[in-house]
């Protein structure tokens, strides 16, 4: 038995936190079956040598009898600020096994003390180019370390974004910190271990600043959302010496400031880099700062908090698949619609300007298609300084692209003259899916690439055009898929904080978070909309379910109550008063707004009942139950005919009514909805007509009502509208619209046509939950079902590293039955429900003892503890 995957605040690595009682999680790995944790003991110490727990441990010394292994709250002595703590956990299990984990660590931030530094900057003008800022400031500090270093840390942040190096070495693979929050409400600083970057003697630190989200273009509202220049930097270096003393080196008036090669940089506009301004030896002690000026110093008035969620970082590289000379420009095809930037190797002459443009698609004449980027320029410039080869990568911009167009070179470049540098928040991948249908595999990959590209500071709708916003609807729709694909708790928890930050006075959650405004102060978009604002209830609930995080429910609870009460006061005759967006981008007849809005209101009110009960707030729970009962009644009265027809007669209407249990246990009514849904499927010739909202629930509901055959039919469709339509038309990510591009009609309306929009990729959730069958999980996956739908595929291998460990469901058809390998992680149990007839015979191949399966509604059902199992299911005729 092994204890692995230690996480603090649901993150791996050296996490910095200002939480006084951070949450710990771990995974138990064991070859044995039926393993359950019976007790744990957490050991925390400042000194790694003391992790045997005998001395120095600042946690209770006794074991806690519990099977909890995710989100376990720290309960030791008060933590000290700016301190690295080591921790491990000892676990005892039911089979008399015990194990001690590997060692992990976390770093406390300022906790209750003031951030011991000042903002440094200097007066700056906006810059000449309308859509871009001005020359990046470069900051420099030289300092001497007199004693022997034990360990050292840097805590830093910026107004804008920063890139820092110590003695010429980068802090880490992190880029674009501090990312994006509503800076007036939450402002994060980051923590880094820099022990290996420092040396006793002379040291130097160099920092450059870009505009980022603070000053740069946001969506279409323009620049300076949070203020005007100057860009500022604040940091404190905490150096602990072997003699037990500590020294702090902070940003103050001793720093120097100047300019360098980045002439402007904007997330949307792009970066202008002139290599002739490069600073020789910048960030090292050899740097000559005589041309630099003293900085201006300002007090930090913002309440800085330690970063939540993993940072944005470089995640990989891609080599183009081809390049072509088109009208005098080289167009490189990365073979994958990706998000990040490029590393360029070019040869020019001193002062030669190379222009680099980015696009997701090509025009028919093979030139770069950029109309769908709208006002976003997505253009970088590199100015050469020699006549030899030079290599460059942007620092403060990101683009969403598959194609890169280079102009300004007069030789045939090699294919690797352009390398794609993939950038997104640094989350662990947790899922994989593979089946015998290559197109379905491609669809799965496309959705995964959509997640990579749109996990950038916040979950965005799209990464390329002048939008790139944290749309709450898109986020909640993809959230479960996101949690299967990657360990997303901390990233979403940070985003949920963004949503809570933006809650309006009246209680409404906003349609985007962070919320942004036009220069005249008007908000860009609205709030309180069905399926969008509702994310403020849905997403905390999903974090509780997926990761067992009860704290997030407690923290969001007052906001949730306010929202649910707001919905109630704004209904008319218990019907939700609609604003927008309905079943966004659906095909054909749209579901009427009041119908979809009321359906979602019932859903989130039901969730609020569950949350209130969990938090033992029975009077709220009873009040919300009352609301939900009234809404259901009103829904039936206003929108449902006797034969079960729901106003609008749409697939989405029936799907949501079934999913959200509008019939409230009335089997007859539910059957009517099911019949109507099947008719609606037939009427559409077994094609979907759903938009963002309906699509998420479509295939799950079809399976739940026993029509997996139709679900697979929809999955396998290649004609418009279908998922595979985009795949057969060459998509490498999920498109915004079912018809973003068609062979017959070309590109859809350029006003809104992204080729990397993950919402319609919510089918990912179904691939794990129904093809693999792993779903219906209790908080933190402590219990779940495995109920695969074995239909038109020959085989499927589905694996998901849950917070409890790896779950597998790998099946293949064999003869008149199938074989299935199932893995249930330690400290978890599953109800396995294998599709079968009553006559089916089940042989368990790996286990000596037989397992008793019971036949229930077309499935052989057994309760299983942890372990790996191989079953062969065949008919006994």
Per the CB < 8 A criterion, the answer to whether 137 and 215 are in contact is no
Q: How many CB atoms lie within 10 A of CB 173?
A: 12
Q: Which one of the listed residues 390, 467, 502, 645 is annotated catalytic? A: 467
- Closest to ligand BGC by CB, 389 vs 518, is 518
- Smallest gap from residue 402 Cβ to ligand BGC (A): 19
SS percent in the chain: helix, strand, coil, step 5: 25, 35, 40
Upstream peptide bond of 71 is cis (omega within 30 degrees of 0):
no
Whole-angstrom CA distances from 428 to 54, 309, 439, 484 are 33, 12, 25, 11
Half-sphere exposure of 802 (CA within 13 A, CB side): 34
Query: DSSP letter string over 778-840?
Result: PGGGSEEEE----SS-SEEEEEEEETTEEEEEEEEEETTEEEEEEEE-TT-EEEEEEE--TTE
- Smallest gap from residue 512 Cβ to ligand BGC (A): 8
- Smallest gap from residue 697 Cβ to ligand BGC (A): 17
- Smallest gap from residue 458 Cβ to ligand BGC (A): 13
- Smallest gap from residue 473 Cβ to ligand BGC (A): 5
- Smallest gap from residue 62 Cβ to ligand BGC (A): 51
Q: Which one of the listed residues 289, 390, 493, 736 is annotated catalytic? A: 736
- Closest to ligand BGC by CB, 380 vs 474, is 474
What residue has token string 């859509």? 131
Whole-angstrom CA distances from 684 to 179, 702, 703 are 44, 15, 18
CA 90 from chain center: how many Å? 31
Contacts by residues 297-300 (CB-CB < 8 Å, ≥ 24 positions apart):
297/118, 297/119, 297/120, 297/251, 297/252, 297/253, 298/118, 298/119, 298/120, 298/121, 298/232, 299/118, 299/119, 300/115, 300/117, 300/118, 300/119, 300/234
CA 33 from chain center: how many Å? 33
- Closest to ligand BGC by CB, 454 vs 866, is 454
- Closest to ligand BGC by CB, 332 vs 758, is 758
- Closest to ligand BGC by CB, 300 vs 585, is 585
Burial of 816 (C-beta count, 10 Å sphere; 0-12/13-18/19+): exposed
φ and ψ at residue 229, rounded to 5 degrees: -45, 160
- Closest to ligand BGC by CB, 467 vs 498, is 467
- Smallest gap from residue 362 Cβ to ligand BGC (A): 22
For the chain, report the end-to-end CA distance as a whole number of angstroms.
42
736 is catalytic: yes
616 is catalytic: no
Query: DSSP letter string over 269-326?
Result: TEEEEEGGG--TTTTSTT--GGG-EEPEEE---S-EEE--SPPEEEEEEE--SEEEEE
CA 803 from chain center: how many Å? 16
C-beta nearest to ligand BGC: residue: 461
- Smallest gap from residue 578 Cβ to ligand BGC (A): 13
User: Footprint of ligand BGC on this chain (CB under 6 A)?
Assistant: 461-462, 467, 471, 473-474, 581, 584, 752
Q: Of 686, 818, 720, 718, which is closest to residue 442 (Cα–Cα)? A: 718
Burial of 695 (C-beta count, 10 Å sphere; 0-12/13-18/19+): buried
- Smallest gap from residue 222 Cβ to ligand BGC (A): 17
d(CA 410, CA 399) in angstroms, rounded, equals 25
- Closest to ligand BGC by CB, 372 vs 651, is 372
Catalytic residues: 467, 736
């Amino acid at each position: 038995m092994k204890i692995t995957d230690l996480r603090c605040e649901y993150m791996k690595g050296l996490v910095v936190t200002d939480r006084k009682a951070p949450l710990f999680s771990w995974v138990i790995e064991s070859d044995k079956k039926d393993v359950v944790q019976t007790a744990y003991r957490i050991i925390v110490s400042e000194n790694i040598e003391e992790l045997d727990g005998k001395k120095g441990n600042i946690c209770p010394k006794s074991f806690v009898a519990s099977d909890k292994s995710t989100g376990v709250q720290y309960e030791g002595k008060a933590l000290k600020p700016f301190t690295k703590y080591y921790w491990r956990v000892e676990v005892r299990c039911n089979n008399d096994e015990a194990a001690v984990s590997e060692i992990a660590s976390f770093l406390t931030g300022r906790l209750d003390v003031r951030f011991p530094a000042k903002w440094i900057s200097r007066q700056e003008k906006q810059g000449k180019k309308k859509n871009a800022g001005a020359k990046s400031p470069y900051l420099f500090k030289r300092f001497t370390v007199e004693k022997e270093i034990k360990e050292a840390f840097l805590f830093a942040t910026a107004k804008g974004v920063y890139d820092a190096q110590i003695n010429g070495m980068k802090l880490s693979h992190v880029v674009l910190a501090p990312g994006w929050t509503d800076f007036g409400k939450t402002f994060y600083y980051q923590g880094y271990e820099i022990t290996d970057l420092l040396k006793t003697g002379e040291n130097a630190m160099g920092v450059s600043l870009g505009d980022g989200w603070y000053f740069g273009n946001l969506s279409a509202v323009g620049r300076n959302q949070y203020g005007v220049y100057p860009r500022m930097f604040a940091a404190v270096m905490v150096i602990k010496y072997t003699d037990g003393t500590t020294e702090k080196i902070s940003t103050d008036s001793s720093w120097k400031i100047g300019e360098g090669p980045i002439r402007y940089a904007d997330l949307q506009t792009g970066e202008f880099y002139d290599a002739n301004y490069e600073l020789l030896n910048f960030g090292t002690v050899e740097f000559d700062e005589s041309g630099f000026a003293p900085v201006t110093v300002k007090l930090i008035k913002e309440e800085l908090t330690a970063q939540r969620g993993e940072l944005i970082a470089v995640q990989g590289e891609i080599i183009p698949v081809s390049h072509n000379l088109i009208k005098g420009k080289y167009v490189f095809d990365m073979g994958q619609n990706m998000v990040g930037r490029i590393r360029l190797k070019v040869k020019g002459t001193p002062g030669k300007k190379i222009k680099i443009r980015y696009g997701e698609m090509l025009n028919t004449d093979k030139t770069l298609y950029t109309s769908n980027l709208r006002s976003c320029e997505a253009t970088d410039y590199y100015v050469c300084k020699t006549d030899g080869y030079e290599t460059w990568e942007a620092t403060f911009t990101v683009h969403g692209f598959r194609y890169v167009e280079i102009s300004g070179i007069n030789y045939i470049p090699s294919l690797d003259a352009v390398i794609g540098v993939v950038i997104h928040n640094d989350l662990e991948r947790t899922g994989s899916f593979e089946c015998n249908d290559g197109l379905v595999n491609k669809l799965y990959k496309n959705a995964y690439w959509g997640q990579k590209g749109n996990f950038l500071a916040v979950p965005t709708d799209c990464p390329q055009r002048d939008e790139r916003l944290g749309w709450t609807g898109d986020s909640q729709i993809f959230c479960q898929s996101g949690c299967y694909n990657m360990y997303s708790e901390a990233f979403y928890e940070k985003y949920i904080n963004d949503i809570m930050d933006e809650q309006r006075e009246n209680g409404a959650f906003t349609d985007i978070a962070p919320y942004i405004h036009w220069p005249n102060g008007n908000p860009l978009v609205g709030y309180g909309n069905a399926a969008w604002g509702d994310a403020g209830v849905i997403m905390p609930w999903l974090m509780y379910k997926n990761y067992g995080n009860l704290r997030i429910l407690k923290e969001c609870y007052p906001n949730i109550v306010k929202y649910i009460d707001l919905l109630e006061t704004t209904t008319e005759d218990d019907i939700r008063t609609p604003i927008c967006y309905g079943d966004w981008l659906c095909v054909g007849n749209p579901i009427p707004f009041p119908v979809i809005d009321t359906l979602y209101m019932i859903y989130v009110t039901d969730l609020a009942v569950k949350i209130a009960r969990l938090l033992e707030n029975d009077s709220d729970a009873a009040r919300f139950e009352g609301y939900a009962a009234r809404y259901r009644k009103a829904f039936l009265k206003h929108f449902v005919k006797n034969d079960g027809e729901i106003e609008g007669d749409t697939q989405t209407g029936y799907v949501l009514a079934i999913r959200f249990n509008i019939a409230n246990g009335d089997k007859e009514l539910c059957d009517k909805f099911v019949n109507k849904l099947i008719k609606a499927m037939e009427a559409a010739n077994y094609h979907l007509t759903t938009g963002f909202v309906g699509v998420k629930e479509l295939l799950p509901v079809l399976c739940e009502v026993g029509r997996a055959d139709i679900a697979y039919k929809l999955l396998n469709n290649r004609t418009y509208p279908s998922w595979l339509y985009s795949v057969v038309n060459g998509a490498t990510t999920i498109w915004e619209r079912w018809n973003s591009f068609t062979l017959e009609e070309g590109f859809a309306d350029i006003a809104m046509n992204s080729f990397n929009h993950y919402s319609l990729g919510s089918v990912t959730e179904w691939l794990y939950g129904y093809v693999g069958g792993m779903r219906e999980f209790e908080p933190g996956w402590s219990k779940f079902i495995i109920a695969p739908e074995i239909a038109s595929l020959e085989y499927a291998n589905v694996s998901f590293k849950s917070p409890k460990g790896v779950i597998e469901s790998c099946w293949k058809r064999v003869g008149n039955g199938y074989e299935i390998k199932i893995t249930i992680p330690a400290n978890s149990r599953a109800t396995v429900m294998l599709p079968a007839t009553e006559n089916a015979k089940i042989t368990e191949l790996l286990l000596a003892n037989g397992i008793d399966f019971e036949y229930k509604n077309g499935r052989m059902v057994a309760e299983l503890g942890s372990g790996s199992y191989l079953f062969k299911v065949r008919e006994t005729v």
